[in-house]
């Protein structure tokens, strides 16, 4: 099964009015809490948590994406930096376990249902 890449914007703010807390941006905080959740679910070997310096969604922080070869790509926007790592890790497990990235809407965590901005088709394969 292909490795899942979980992209998280490291520059995202906590909110439009709060850039950082205790020296961490909202994105950095989310990355730290996601690392702990992925380890707790034993996903650190099947999921590559990849911080990005910008995902160009600055007006709607935080921005997150799930991608893997041959699978749909999910792009989430307006993900709160706090209290969301558990739901994101749950979806990461569902996404990783799926053959093509399709996770039925009804089975997705509520957070993912409400923050999904785009679902993109898999990239074409060479052949």
Please name the helix (run of DSSP H) or strand (run of DSSP E) that holds residue 64, with its range, or none: strand 64-67
Q: The domain 4-120: what is its CATH number?
A: 3.40.30.10
On the 0-12 / 13-18 / 19+ scale of CB atoms within 10 A, 23 is exposed
* pLDDT tens per residue, range 27-45: 999 999 999 999 999 998 9
The pairing of strands 64-67 and 73-76 is antiparallel
**pTM (2 d.p.):** 0.94
Q: Which sequence spans correspond to the domains of the chain? A: 4-120
| Residue 13 burial (CB count, 10 A) | 18
* pLDDT tens per residue, range 63-109: 999 999 999 999 999 999 999 999 999 999 999 999 999 999 999 99
């Amino acid at each position: 099964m292909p490795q899942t890449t979980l992209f998280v914007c490291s520059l995202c703010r906590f909110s439009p009015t709060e850039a950082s807390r205790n020296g961490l941006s909202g994105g950095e905080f989310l990355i730290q809490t996601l690392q702990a959740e992925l380890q707790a679910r034993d996903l650190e070997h099947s999921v590559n948590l990849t911080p990005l310096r910008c995902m160009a969604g600055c007006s709607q922080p935080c921005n997150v994406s799930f991608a893997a070869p041959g699978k749909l790509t999910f792009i989430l926007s307006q993900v709160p930096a706090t209290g969301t790592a558990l739901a994101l890790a749950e979806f990461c497990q569902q996404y990783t376990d799926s053959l093509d990235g399709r996770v039925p809407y009804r089975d997705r965590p509520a957070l993912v249902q409400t923050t999904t901005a785009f679902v993109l088709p898999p990239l074409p394969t060479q052949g």
